[in-house]
Amino acid sequence: MDIFVRDTQLNLSPYYLKPGFAYGGSCLPKEVRAVVHLADQLNVSTPLINSLGKTNAQQIQSATNMLMETGCERVGFLGLAFKSGTDDLRESPILEVVNAMLSEGCDVSAWDPAINAETRVSTQFDYVRHIYPHLEPVVDALPTILSASPLKVLDQADVVVVTQATDEIRRAVAARLGKVRIVDLVRLFPEAPNVDGYEGIGW
């Protein structure tokens, strides 16, 4: 698989076909839905594509279940956008998990390198409210749950969810290994650290 994804002509990204968390963003989700809708209109069977949305929802639910099972009341998130290097929150799958934790009454904190209190995401917020009205609590709470640094999130939470595999997040988590529970959704390290309280998906 590592050799396969090195191709840069047919394979657009080294992340394609790699295990990981649910997909999101402004393009792929709506395009998958469009293909499913078009295929249905044309009476074309597309079982693989039809299953993508269901599998994506299961990944989100699995992450939510992992957090619920910890019983922790202070939950942190490292990464809010659907991928690193962007401030795009549209259909970011982790927002569903944040919403579930807020609805459980958890004390939520979050950090994303591309998002802060001054980030102009009003249009995205309108999109989220319109397309996914059940996420409005997340939109309203976002300005108050943002933290200044990943270390601050790690220091004030009982369990921290990692959704972006950046060097800054990797260093911060490595500095707190064994001191806080981690739910790693993006395979932050080549191998799962052999410490108590570290779990995730993708290994």
* Residues with active-site annotation: 27
User: 200 pairs with which residues across the strands?
Assistant: 184
And the tokens for 192? 């799962």
How many Å apart are CA 82 and CA 107, to the nearest integer?
22
Dihedral sign computed on CA atoms, order 17, 18, 19, 23: negative
How many Å apart are CA 62 and CA 54, to the nearest integer?
12
Residue 115: DSSP 8-state? B
Q: Which of these, 112, 105, 50, 123, lies nearest to 86 by C-alpha position?
A: 112
Q: Which of these, 80, 134, 147, lies nearest to 107 by C-alpha position?
A: 147
How many Å apart are CA 151 and CA 16, to the nearest integer?
30
